[in-house]
Structures are given as C-alpha cells and as structure tokens.
Amino acid sequence: MNMIAAVDKNWAIGNRGSLLVRIPSDQRLLRQETAGKVVVMGRKTLEGLPGGRPFDHCTNIVMSTRPDYKVRGAEVCHDLDELFARIEGTGPDDVIVIGGGQIYRLLLPYCGKVHITLIEHAYTADTWFPNLDLDPDWHITADSDEITYFDLEYRHLCYERK
C-alpha cells in the first residue's frame, strides 16, 4: 500500500475540510498515480472532491465508521479488517491512500512508499500528515527539482520505508 499527499513546509494538509491549495500539476500527478488502481480515502476526503463524487478512473474505497454510510461509485469499509479483506490479492503498489489526516495516520504503518508534494509555504491549517523527516523508519529515495506555480515553490519527494 502506498500514499500520496500534498503538504506545506509544516506537513499541514488541510484546513476546515479543504485542501490548503490546488496546484494543477499536482492534481494531474494524483490522477496519474491513481489511474486504474484502488484508492482508499476517508469520508471527509470524498466529500471534498469535486461534486463530492468518487473518481471515475479507479476503484474507490471510502473508510467510514458510520454503519449506514453508502456512496454511489465507491465501496465503503468500516474498519481495517474490512479494508484488508477487500484489498486482499491486490499488489501493494496498486493500493493508494489519498487522505485525509485520520486515514493517513491509521494506514501509514501498512505503507511502504509515500509520494509527497512539498509546498514551500506555511498555511493556516487544522490537519497534518505525519512528518516523515522525523521518523527514522522513512528515508527519501527521490527528490525532484524545484517547480514554481505562480508564487509557490514546491517539489515532489518519494519516501520509502527502510
């Protein structure tokens, strides 16, 4: 299982249920990395997608503790046992976790690779991704050149579990 996230320089990922910023090339990267794969997200992340609808280019799994929660175009799993039963037999690189904060923290121990878009800016935030730079179990295996989008500078990093 892998993860993908866009974080600011303090590892923040969101504020009041929304992304901190939308960068078109980062959105394209998300679509490219998840195409044809199994995407795992939380209910709040799903509701933050355009129209509150699941992606149409992959298999969507929404994690929710609400027993009666249903969503058209996605499967719902209520706990880890259900999720692991659902993805059994799926290759580890074919399952991508896309958020939000609770789901990242819940599933990080089961991931081997994390794709991070690191935005060189500090935003007002209420949701964070675990800081992999402070975790000795993770190291950077790829680092892109700096990219500029208007006045924002960012780069793509790949972390892998040691």
Which residues, in sequence order, are CB contacts of 56 under 8 Å at separation 6+?
Answer: 73
Dist CA 80 CA 110 (whole Å): 11
CATH 3.40.430.10 is right for the domain spanning 2-161: yes
Residue 75 has pLDDT above 90, yes or no: yes
- Residue 128 in tokens: 């964070």
Tens digit of pLDDT for each residue in 26-43?
Answer: 999 999 999 999 999 999
pLDDT score of 129: 98
Tens digit of pLDDT for each residue in 101-148?
Answer: 999 999 999 999 999 999 999 999 999 999 999 999 999 999 999 999
- Stated pTM of the model: 0.95
Confidence band for 50, pLDDT divided at 50, 70 and 90: confident
Dist CA 3 CA 151 (whole Å): 27
Share of the chain above pLDDT 90, in %: 96
